[in-house]
Amino acid sequence: MEVTIRPARPEDVPAMLELVRELAVFEKEPEAVTVTEAEMLDAGFGEKPVWWGWVAEVDGQSAVGSGQLVGIAVCYERYSTWRGRVGYLEDIVVTDRVRGQGVGEKLFKACAAECVRRGYHHLTWQVLDWNEGAIRFYKRLGAELDGEWVNGRLYHEQLLQIASS
């Protein structure tokens, strides 16, 4: 299997969103993906793009089977008051049937290279503590996994409540 990694293009968004949904099922939150194709398209390729990413093509084809790509990596820029500009890997997804064949590593390397090109201090991401395969993958690449920080989140309704109080 020959895998080519290339920058994501607008026409990739429907298949990218399908892979995001596949990830949500794997992470036991199939109903959590509420973003639409139009929103993802605008956020990545509109007037003010906030994310950038790559897709994995197999044997020169951008789609396999029902039109899904075999892998994606989606990143964006964050700012650290301690370190400056940093990259954030929002999602790296490799469809189940090609996992373990080097696709994830190629996508991750593309993300790392882009972070270097952009002058970021580091790349950060989250991984579920029960996702042992992903944890092994990141450790194999030399990543430090931090068990010290606790993540916080407020959803839209909570934001509205706080903002109006």
- Residue 18, number of CB atoms within 10 A of its CB: 18
What b/e string do you get for 125-162 counting C-beta neighbours within 10 Å, with b at 16 or more? bebeeeeeeeeebbeeeeeeeeeeeeeeeeeeeeeeee
| Catalytic entry in 79, 120, 138, 155 | 138
* 138 included as an active-site residue: yes
Q: Measured between alpha carbons, how far is 99 from 97 in angstroms, rounded to an integer? A: 6
Q: Which of 60, 148, 140, 81 is nearest to 108 (CA)?
A: 140
Residue 130 forms beta bridges with which residues?
none
Q: Which residues are catalytic?
A: 138
